[in-house]
Chain A
């Protein structure tokens, strides 16, 4: 099986993902300059920023899909920048990625897309994969679409299949690239609750890229608790427990112009942040 999630209290405070002075450019265009931040195990970070500010680029760097020109990118304490493609496979096994445009495999059915990771590891048997695929699709409300091809799905459905594909095999780290963009309010709520539940009850380390401030505030302001009977309740408001494990980073001009928690973001006097949040 793919890496197990563990949320033992002892692990808290240990960095899961860390950027140290990362530079990245495409041709002559500098996208990230000297970017540093860290996400502790079991924590969530929301990356905000305008279109083209380099949010997706950060996620691709974490996966090692592209390499930085300078700086270190530590995943689970290991610098991945110098690793070969073969060595990166091991790192990627522990990371689920929700791509901005879904990036579903056109030639594979929804079942094969979602189960991709498990089909690739020959060890897992078919019935078990089928069960896992149905469970993940159930989480995103798409169990009926299991036999469809990606071309038969709407944009929002594709994104949700992409989420199911990222979550299968329970990776301890999940990267979400605009998972709620273009979804109706009900579906969006479902996805946010899924993300909060993974963060609070399964100890998933999450990186949430968005420019949807409302989604970010829900993520920061709510907390999932098990209610004993196998169900999950979502607490919001004053207790602030959600906010404590949810940090915010805001990108501007290739650098980080804000780093802190949600109340801090709201109080920030940085003119760019003010323009963004109001």
Chain B
């Protein structure tokens, strides 16, 4: 089987009546790093919570390496490590105890060697005997990650892993993700930062208003997201775009005062020089111009509209 996580027709309506997920279909490939990208309130945490068994789905089915998360929850959850969005720790336990307990809760035999490796990888080894209540927020987050790795999961969920995190931990996180990828662990992370998806992921799924809008190789998505618009404020309104300019795929504003050109910042040529030359030849003069990049929010809105 190629996909390690298979989600089909998943919907969730909360008791409040709010529909947080709509018919989500998603296949995660074994060993990949998948970023779930979407604005706040899109349903990312809800999706992860259902897979991890914290929230019951309203409809649909989730298989973790072939194990149904409802009927075969022990097998399914045994494969999963979850680092939740919020810090949640038993304040009075020591780092070592809480991480070891977590492993035991997964029914795994004690393995001090493994726990040691995990703690060292997260720069927690020196703190192993500290009580959690004495640790800083960043350190607590490291403990959450250590707990999630204590039982050697096949799939690791990182919910907003770098939100509110210092630079050092962010860098460590990226190193960790890279290291885990080499050992074959599948990683699914959520974020509302395009840069983060770009930096870490192999594939990106965009989610908005409970719908998966698209799933794409990162490189392809970044090409789309890298688009910019150049808008030219004309001296005289145009009735229609002259034939000689058709190959530039321009748009004309309703009042005929603006010409809009969309281009890819990452392409070898943006085509701007050619466009300006052609405009000049066609005798179209402009008094001002400016460029703009669509915000993630706008891209989401566009994507949602395109789908309807």
Q: Do chains A and B stick together as partners? A: no
**Taking beta carbons and an 8 Å cutoff, which residues of B are in contact with A?**
none
